[in-house]
């Protein structure tokens, strides 16, 4: 006997908020950024001048753009941020893709970049950035040269 909207109808209005929130979140990650010339999505398209983030080789063949909202982490309670991408050589790309974290850590320890990290800091200063890299990785892209 009443024309008032019933409870079911109100519920369907509330449910419409969910997809809108997700859409906004997805868009926020694709904000335009001031990339240098020849860069796409915060990472270079050429390996020139880059070195492998794991072993330090300058024979890089792959680049992994990183999700900007996932690159921040804490090392011994101090804030750190990975760059907008990691470049990898062919060998390290294979090791990373295989999921062999221990092999990747070994290679990192033998490179000039990470060799100053003492044994007791390996978990905090090598494994952790490697985990953050894996978490933020947007996928491998083959470099042009």
Contacts with Zn ion by CB under 5 A lie at 52, 54-55, 57, 89, 92
- Least separation, in Å, of the C-beta of 143 and Zn ion? 13
Rounded CA-CA distance 72/67 in Å is: 10
Nearer of residues 55 and 136 to Zn ion, judged by Cβ:
55
Residues 6+ apart with CB under 8 A from 59: 47, 52, 89, 90
- Least separation, in Å, of the C-beta of 119 and Zn ion? 22
Nearer of residues 68 and 107 to Zn ion, judged by Cβ:
107
In this structure, the chain runs to a length of: 145
Residues 6+ apart with CB under 8 A from 103: 95
Nearer of residues 35 and 111 to Zn ion, judged by Cβ:
111
Nearer of residues 55 and 143 to Zn ion, judged by Cβ:
55
What is each CA distance from 72 to 13, 43, 132, in whole angstroms? 36, 17, 8
Angle, CA of 91, 122 and 115, to the nearest 5°? 60
- Least separation, in Å, of the C-beta of 139 and Zn ion? 18
- Least separation, in Å, of the C-beta of 114 and Zn ion? 12
């Amino acid at each position: 006997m009443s024309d008032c909207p019933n409870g079911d109808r109100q519920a369907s209005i509330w449910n419409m908020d969910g997809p809108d929130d997700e859409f906004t979140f997805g868009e926020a990650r694709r904000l335009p950024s001031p990339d240098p010339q020849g860069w796409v999505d915060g990472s270079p398209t050429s390996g020139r001048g880059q070195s492998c983030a794991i072993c330090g080789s300058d024979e890089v063949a792959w680049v992994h753009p990183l999700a900007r909202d996932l690159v921040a982490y804490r090392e011994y309670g101090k804030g750190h941020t990975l760059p907008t991408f990691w470049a990898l050589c062919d060998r390290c790309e294979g090791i990373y893709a295989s999921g062999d974290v221990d092999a990747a850590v070994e290679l990192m320890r033998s490179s000039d970049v990470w060799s100053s990290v003492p044994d007791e800091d390996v978990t905090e200063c090598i494994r952790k950035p490697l985990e953050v890299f894996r978490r933020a990785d947007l996928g491998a892209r083959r470099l042009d040269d």
